[in-house]
Amino acid sequence: MILITGAGGYIGSHVNKLMFEEGYQTIALDNLLNGHEDLIKWGKFVLGDLKDIKLLNFVFKKYDIDTVVHLAALTSVNESVQFPAKYYKNNFQYTLNLLNIMEKFNVGKFIFSSTASVYGEPDSIPISEKHPLKPVNPYGKSKLMVENLLSERSKNSDFNYVCLRYFNACGADLSAEIGENHDPETHLIPIALNVALNKLEKITIYGGDYPTPDGTCIRDYIHVHDIATAHLKGLEFLDENKSDVFNLGIGRGFSVKEIIKSCREVTGYEIPTVVENRREGDPAILIADNKKAKKNLKWKAEINDINSMIKTAYNYQKKL
Ligand SMILES: NC(=O)c1ccc[n+]([C@@H]2O[C@H](COP(=O)([O-])OP(=O)(O)OC[C@H]3O[C@@H](n4cnc5c(N)ncnc54)[C@H](O)[C@@H]3O)[C@@H](O)[C@H]2O)c1
């Protein structure tokens, strides 16, 4: 069975759905701090926190778990700057709890949700996995600490891991059954769509003077369905007793203004914007070099058109 932590969250719920539909038996664990019970419609649900070692013991004793897919984390860069200890505790210390319990129960397959934030301000674009790792905020640093631990842990042991460094996740389940629902929402596309749906007045663009063609930041948006399929490929990779790290992005960037333009095209609504100062720690451009995932993980993004990605998010936001 596969234990999926953070399965009540945005990406975890899509991973849980896809794995379940592909015939895997899943156990969805979430404390529902930032997740939603109604996103967990597949497999078994365990309400609990990774800080609770007794509960982890209970879960590993009760279920015959052979793989852990670990998405549970706190994910706000800005909050991590304000409360760094909270991030190191939740994202690193509680991952250590999970790895310890896996060791105790001889569970040796692990898929980890990492992030493009581990690269910090890039020296070159596109960013390959060989790029230096120099995160600039506690969120990225807490993820890098886990990555380092995984690399050490896998040496000379029967523990294998796949580390997936997601760039900007976006979109929703193609049938709009599940999708992105953060509170507060910090991601560009759902905010823009909520302006279109009259739930918000305007969208703030942080920084209009970046060294990019239109002055706004450029990011690599990857559809959540393609992130979920990479996890399936990760399971196959682990079956070959290998460990590795992969970027997940489409290898193309869109500026904030281009995304807002697409949201206008998809919704047919005007989306008022206001430009404010840059936020600290926002690199101008983040674009993935995804060649390694294509070659070694045998993964490919299926949804590459930005309007199609946004349309799936819009279908879900309308339902909320
Ligand atoms: N959304 C993105 O664009 C993006 C980009 C890069 C990496 N990631 C990573 O992907 C993963 C999922 O992100 P998301 O956007 O779905 O976030 P999310 O907040 O929607 O999901 C995370 C889930 O983990 C749960 N959780 C957190 N701490 C927990 C704990 N101690 N015990 C049990 N459950 C806990 C939350 O309740 C939530 O449901 C995270 O690890 C995040 O760092 C996300």
Assess whether 67 and 200 both reside in one domain.
no
Q: Give distance in angstroms: CA of 178 to centre of ligand 1.
A: 15
Q: Which of 205, 230, 248 is the last residue of a domain?
A: 248
Domain check: are 238 and 272 in the same one?
Answer: no
Nearest alpha carbon, ligand 1 atom 18: 9
287 shares its domain with 314: yes
Q: What is the domain-level CATH number for residue 288?
A: 3.90.25.10
**Which of 5, 11, 86 maximizes ligand 1 atoms within 8 Å of its Cβ, making it the mutation to test the pocket?**
11
- Show which of 248, 266, 288 is a domain's final residue: 248
pLDDT at 157: 86
Does the pLDDT at position 146 exceed 90? Answer: yes
CA of 87 to the centre of ligand 1 (A): 12
Judge if 286 and 236 occupy the same domain.
no
**Nearest protein Cα to ligand 1, atom 11:** 71
Q: Give per-residue pLDDT as tens, 93-139.
A: 999 999 999 999 999 999 999 999 999 999 999 999 999 999 999 99
Residue whose pair of structure tokens reads 């794995």 in the numeric block: 19
State the amino acid at position 67 in one-letter form: T
Q: Indicate if 161 and 306 belong to the same structural domain.
A: no
Residues 159 and 29 reside in one and the same domain: yes
To test ligand 1's pocket by mutation, which of 30, 79, 144, 316 has the most ligand atoms within 8 angstroms of CB?
30
Please report the DSSP string for 119-176 in residue order.
G-S-SSSSBPTTS-----SHHHHHHHHHHHHHHHHHTTSS-EEEEEEE-EEE---TTS
**Nearest of 144, 48, 65, 156 to residue 102 by alpha carbon:** 65
43 part of a folded domain:
yes
Question: Ligand 1: distance of its center to the CA of 6 in Å?
Answer: 6
Residues 6 or more apart in contact with residue 128 via CB below 8 angstroms? 247, 289, 291, 292
- Residues with a catalytic annotation lie at 139
Looking at the structure of the chain, the number of domains it has is: 2
CA distance 310 to 80: 27
CB atoms within 10 A of CB 227: 26
CATH of the domain at 35: 3.40.50.720
Output the CA–CA distances (angstroms, integers) from residue 277 to 67, 136, 205, 273, in the order listed.
44, 19, 8, 13
Is 204 found in the same domain as 164? Answer: no
Let me know if residue 176 belongs to a domain: no
* 22 & 62 share domain: yes
Res 55: pLDDT = 98
pTM of this structure: 0.98
Domain range for residue 313? 188-219+251-319
Which numbered atom of ligand 1 lies nearest the CA of 35?
A: 39
Q: So what's the pLDDT on residue 282?
A: 87
At residue 95, the pLDDT reads 98
Same domain, 225 and 243: yes
Q: Is 174 part of any domain?
A: no
Whether 183 is covered by a domain: the verdict is no
